[in-house]
Structures are given as structure tokens and as C-alpha cells.
Amino acid sequence: MGMRTKTILCIGAGYVGGPTMAMVARQCPEYRVLVVDVDAARVHAWQSGEPPIYEPGLKELVAVSLNRNLFFSTDVAAGIAEADIIFVSVNTPTKTFGRGAGRAADLQYWEKTARQILAHARRDVIVVEKSTLPVRTAEAMERILRDSPADVGFEVLSNPEFLAEGTAVRDLENPDRVLIGGHDSASGRRAIEALIEIYAHWVPRERILTTNVWSSELSKLAANAFLAQRISSINSLSAICEATEANISEVSRAIGMDSRIGPRFLNASVGFGGSCFKKDILNLVYLCDHYGLGEVARYWEQVVLMNEYQEDRFVRKIVATMFNTVAGKRIAIFGASFKADTGDIRESPALRVCHALIEERAIVVVTDPQGLLNARRELAIYGDRVLFEDDPYAAACGAHAIALVTEWESFRTLDYQRIYAKMEKPAFVFDGRNCLDHAALYALGFNVLPVGQKSLIHQ
Ligand SMILES: NC(=O)c1ccc[n+]([C@@H]2O[C@H](COP(=O)([O-])OP(=O)(O)OC[C@H]3O[C@@H](n4cnc5c(N)ncnc54)[C@H](O)[C@@H]3O)[C@@H](O)[C@H]2O)c1
């Protein structure tokens, strides 16, 4: 008799669960990979081969394994009953109520999942925390699972995901490292080995790192905190540049060539967004406070405050430059997603800029190659005070200003002469990502206001 095919289950078919499991299925054809979610619309989209999220290369990746060894379903209980390894990749948003509101992680989806696993598991199972969680969450999971009535053994591992949206497929294919946190016991080591075996199908062993569970949980928060901190640091300097005629691009280049600092994540901008950075830092802040480490908490909190300051500053500059009023003026917002190559608008600076300009009674017209559907839903509360255009030329037609807030490559290569001809004059470009050719725009007649660089204003 042949060996039973092992089943890998992933609970949560979102930005992390879907792409990660598509990669596992492709790399490990001898496993059956099942992804379950309570969101039926999402599941149907995955099943149809049209992923519910936009990610370069994802559709092709899914197509390789879909209905061969990669399956999607809404039946969470049945999935758990079959599983040998369960990845939990449900959302862990910031709590909006009660103690820790606005900072702590809301673990209700997480705990619900733990209880479902307990109720439906039929054989010994390894539970892998894929979601980003506060340090020591695995302990809570273990305590719930320890009450198993069915005499099922559980081992909990932490295996945080480091993919970045927009480059998820590339990141999964070729990760800088895979981090696995587990307990130093016989069953803990066996579980770690089982998970290593999966990743070792395509990730070189030396890039698979094992640590204790708490280090692994903390490392994910720490990585995001460091990345966001770099952005806030460069953005803080961009404010000094605007006050002193230093140029932030020159400063970035000069410090980035220091091999101790390195060149990445040094672009000044309107600020960072996405579902993770702010949430994870606030989570870290909450943890620090919880452990009585007030100074540490305040230190990291400042990264988020600086980001909010930068967004505010961007909007204030728009209003101040446009003669202190944008009321009734059409402003084209180039970008809705929180960064290029994704349709994800969660915590997008673009949307916060929209909110602020709508408050100022501007007529906001949003254009984005992938994020419009989500943006429409998010901004529906404003009714006809906000418009949506697939075509950036149509968005800018009749506008007093363009605010570029997402660094889509397609925005760089537009025919700005054609755009300028159809705009109200004086025409302004606020380049919140410093990705356009400022001198060329100025020569066309635009007034150009970058971040952390001298404004180019026609007198
Ligand atoms: N998005 C990223 O770039 C990224 C990167 C690294 C880590 N993470 C972390 O991964 C986790 C998931 O993030 P995401 O962006 O994929 O979230 P997401 O909201 O896109 O997906 C989560 C999915 O889980 C489903 N879900 C929730 N509770 C469920 C339950 N009890 N049973 C079945 N399904 C359930 C939801 O319906 C949703 O589709 C978060 O903890 C996040 O911090 C995200």
C-alpha cells in the first residue's frame, strides 16, 4: 500500500494565504494543498483561476496547480479534519474596541480558528502561525489546543511571512530567509523538521532559520518596525530639506552608498501604507507598554506619528500652494493602492489624502490601474464628492492639480504635455513619490512640488 498523501491546509485565503499556498503547491507536488476561507466570494474567485487580489505573476502561478494539488473551499471543518499541517493565515487587525483599542491586535479571528481546529482535528497536527501575531500568542493557542478531547496531539510553530505585496510571487520563490520558531522538545523538533522539509523543496537550507517561538514572533514585528522606521527617518529628513534647500534625493543617495546603511527603503514620500506596518508597530508598542517598557513603546510609536505627520504635511502643502483653498477645485489623485503593483488599498496614504482633500471640499478624482474597485468601496460614503476614472487623462481633464500618491510605472510614462493642455491654469503637480521628471514637467508649464526637494514654481 502506498503512503497516504499528506494534506497541507491553510485557513485564510487572503493576500498571504493564497499566494503562499500556490507556491507550496507548485513546489511540493506530492502534497495536497487545501486553502479554506469563510469568505465565499474570495474562495470562488480563487477556484475560478482569477485570484481575488492583483499580484504580478500570481494568476500564472495558481494555474500551474489549481485542481491538481491545489484546492480552495469554504468548508473549514472538513479541511481541518483532513489536515496534517495547518497554516493559519487569518487577518489580525488592530483592535477597535475595549482594552488596547487602536493598538493591540484583535485576536478574535485567531482564537476562533484555534477553537475550530480543536473541534475538528482528527489526527495529530502541526499548527503553523503564518499570521503576524503579538509575542507569546502561540502560548494562548497551545493552551486552547491542550484541552483536546479527541486525544489529538498539537504542536504549534511560528512561521511568519515576509513577502511584500507587489512582489509576493518573487519573494515567495526566492525568500531572503524562512523563519521557523518552535519548541525545543522532541515533538517540537519533529514539527520543525516537517516544516523544513516543505520549504527545502525550493529554499536553500542555509536560508531556513530556526529559533525559539517567541524570537520568531518578535522578529516579524521587528522587521516591519525597522522597515517602517527607515521610511519615517527619511521622511523626517525630507521636512528639513524643504526648509533648507538640501535635496532629499541627494541625501538618500549619499547615505545609501554607505554599505552599513544600504540604499533600499530610502525614498522620501507621502508616507507608508499597507495593512501591516502601522498595525505591527502599534502591536509592538502595546506589547512594550504591557511589559512596563514605556520608553521603548514611545520610541517605536514615533515611527507611526512621523508617518501621520508626513501625510498631513503633504495635504497642507497642497492647500497652501493652491492659494489656501481647494474648495470646488478638481484635483486628480494618481493612485489609490498603497504602493505600486497591488490593488490593496488598506491604510493607503492615497486614501487618507483623498479624505483630507474632500474635507477641504475639493472635487477629488481618483485613478489607479488596479485599486479603483477597492477605492470605490472605501470612499462610497462621500457620494458624488469623489469621482473615479480608469483613464488618468480623463481624471486630469479640467483639474487644477495632480497629486501623485502611488508610484505606478504607468504614471511615469504618461504624455504630460497632453495632460497639461487640458488642465486649469496654473496647473500643479504634487509628486508624493518623487517619481516624475520634475524639470521636464516644469518646462511644460507645470508648477511642480516634490517631497524634500525645491519646488519649481513659475512666477
Ligand atoms: N498582506 C501582507 O502583505 C502580509 C505580509 C506578511 C504577513 N501578513 C500577515 O498575514 C495575516 C493575513 O494577512 P492578509 O493580508 O492575508 O489578510 P486578508 O484579510 O487578506 O486575509 C485573511 C483571510 O482570512 C479569512 N478568515 C478570517 N477568519 C477566518 C476563519 N475563522 N476561518 C476561515 N477564514 C477566516 C478572511 O475571510 C480573509 O479572507 C495577517 O496577520 C498579516 O499581518 C500580511
Q: Give the tens place of pLDDT for each residue, 406-458.
A: 999 999 999 999 999 999 999 999 999 999 999 999 999 999 999 999 999 99
3-state secondary structure the chain: CCCCCCEEEEECCCCCHHHHHHHHHHHCCCCEEEEECCCHHHHHHHHCCCCCCCCCCHHHHHHHHECCCEEEECCHHHHHHHCCEEEECCCCCECCCCCCCCCCECCHHHHHHHHHHHHHCCCCEEEEECCCCCCCHHHHHHHHHCCCCCCCCEEEEECCCCCCCCCHHHHHHCCCCEEEECCCCHHHHHHHHHHHHHHCCCCCHHHEEEECHHHHHHHHHHHHHHHHHHHHHHHHHHHHHHHHCCCHHHHHHHHHCCCCCCCCCCCCCCCCCCCCHHHHHHHHHHHHHHCCCHHHHHHHHHHHHHHHHHHHHHHHHHHHHCCCCCCCCEEEEECCCCCCCCCCCCCCHHHHHHHHHHHCCCEEEEECCCCHHHHHHHCHHHHHHEEECCCHHHHHCCCCEEEECCCCHHHHCCCHHHHHHCCCCCCEEEECCCCCCHHHHHHHCCEEECCCCCCECCC
Over residues 333-360, the mean pLDDT reads 97
Ligand 1 centre from 88 Cα, in Å? 8
170 or 148: which leads in pLDDT:
170
What is the position in ligand 1's atom list of the atom closest to the CA of 164? 3
Residue 136's pLDDT band, with cuts at 50, 70 and 90, is: confident
Is 276 in the active site? yes
Ligand 1 neighbourhood includes 163 CB (under 6 angstroms): yes
CATH class of the domain at 7-211:
alpha beta
12 lines ligand 1 (CB under 6 A): yes
Q: Does the pLDDT at position 299 exceed 60?
A: yes
Q: Where are the domains of the chain?
A: 7-211, 212-459
Confidence class for position 13, pLDDT limits 50, 70, 90:
very high
CA of 91 to the centre of ligand 1 (A): 3
Look at residue 1 in the predicted model and tell me its pLDDT.
Answer: 46
pLDDT of residue 149 exceeding 80, the answer is: no
Average pLDDT, the chain: 96
- Which atom of ligand 1 is the closest one to the Cα of 131? 41
Q: Which atom of ligand 1 is nearest to the CA of 165?
A: 3
* pLDDT for position 44: 98
Catalytic residue among 276, 288, 397, 435: 276
Predicted confidence band at 2 (pLDDT cuts at 50, 70, 90)?
Answer: low
Per-residue pLDDT reduced to its tens digit, 169-227: 999 999 999 999 999 999 999 999 999 999 999 999 999 999 999 999 999 999 999 99
Q: Does the C-beta of 89 come closer than 6 Å to ligand 1? A: yes
- Return the CATH number of the domain spanning residue range 212-459: 3.40.50.720
Residue 141 confidence (pLDDT) above 90: no
Stretch 125-138: mean pLDDT, rounded?
A: 90
Q: Is there a shared CATH topology between the 7-211 domain and the 212-459 domain?
A: yes
